[in-house]
Structures are given as C-alpha cells and as structure tokens.
Amino acid sequence: MPPTLEDKRASTKRPAHDEADSENRKAPKTSHASSSHAPPITFAIYQAETALNKVREEFKARNDDLKTLKSELAQRMVDASRQAANSNFPQPRLDRLRAEHRRRDENISHAQQLASGCVNEVTVQKSKIWGLQYNHKFLEEEMMAINNEIKKITVDKESDVGELIKEKMALEGEVWVLKSEIQKITAEKNASEGRYSTLEQQVKQHLESAEAGRLLLRESISHK
C-alpha cells in the first residue's frame, strides 16, 4: 500500500529531540548557578529570549510542514487529474477532489500567513529584547560609574572631615593659648591697678604734706 498523506506528513516532521537540540544550539550557554545569581531583569530577558527562540523554531517547523503538505496536495491533484484522463474516473468525484484541494490549499495558505506573521512578530520582539539588553547594560555601566563617584566623594568627604577636625583642634589650642594670655594680662592689669592706686595714695599724701609744709612756711614768713 502506498504511503498515505498523513504518513508523509509524519515523516517530514522533525522529532522533538531534534528541535530541542536545535534550540539548545541557539540558546546561550548559561549555567544554572550563573542564572540564579544573575540580576532579576537580566534573567527575565534571558528567559524571554529563550522562549521566543523556541516559538520561532516551532513556527518555522510548522511552516515547513505546511509547505510539504501543500506540495503533496498539489501532486495528489495532478495524479487524480491524470487518472481521470486515462480512465473512466467519475467527474463528480474529480470535482469534489478539486474543491477539497482548493479548500485545503486556502487553509494551508492562511496557516502559512499566520505562521509567517508569528515569525515576524517573534523577530520584532527579539529586536525589542536586544534593545532592552543594550539599555540594561548601559544603565548598569551608568550605575557603576555613579557608585564609583559616590565612593570617591565619600572618601574625599571623610578626608575633608579629618582635615577639618585637625583644624578645629588646632584652633581650640590657639583659643586656649589666647585665653591663658588674656588671663595673664588681666592679672597683670589688676596688679598694675593695685600699684597705681597705692602710688596715687602715696602721691596724694606727699602733696598734702607738701601743701601743709608750704602753708607753715608761708605762715612763718608772714610773722617775721
């Protein structure tokens, strides 16, 4: 018995493990440990890209199956036409075969359009994912630069604080010295004021004695 259309379709389909091998070849080599330690957004992008690759491969395989089926239907219709021309093949049956062929051909064309549209959509989504990967890498580099700048500013700030503390301690030492000088000068001023008061009293006493002596001298002169 010649192979049926379903047998031919089954023979043209790739085994599941072949599709998996193809997917594994296209997927990036990433260990479980490295994926588990990757940043959440990076791991999410990787998962989305892997899923889109799988969908794209599946639709490509289905599209190839549809092309094969379309070719087989066309060949079957040619064989039926030849058989009808070489024998008393019933015209109504031939018409039914032709109508069935057209219907299946339309369904296959529609399915091919859907498959092509899905493949194109997957391509668009992959382009978006690549854009996200580029933006994510750019943001990571920017964040690293910002962190380095923050560390540098922190170190500079700590250094500046250390210098300010040293300057503060030096100023406090100078203030203490100035206070000591002020206390010393104040003590000397108080001592000078005490000596001045004593001298003032002595001068006053001397002046009073001199005035009394002058009066006595004047009085004695007036009696002569």
Stated as kind and residue range, the H or E segment containing 224 is none
pLDDT in tens, 12-59: 444 433 443 444 444 444 433 344 444 566 666 667 667 767 776 777
Distance of CA 129 to the CA centre of its chain: 16
Percent of the chain with pLDDT over 70: 69
Stated as kind and residue range, the H or E segment containing 163 is helix 91-223
Other beta carbons less than 10 A from residue 31's beta carbon? 8
Q: 188: pLDDT confidence band, cut at 50, 70 and 90?
A: confident
The amino acid at 153: I
pLDDT in tens, 11-25: 444 443 344 344 444
Domain-by-domain residue ranges, the chain? 5-167
Please tell me which residue, 114 or 17, carries the higher pLDDT value: 114
pLDDT of residue 136: 80
State the angle between helix axes of 40-86 and 16-26 in degrees (0 to 180), rounded to the nearest 10.
140
Please tell me which residue, 33 or 134, carries the higher pLDDT value: 134
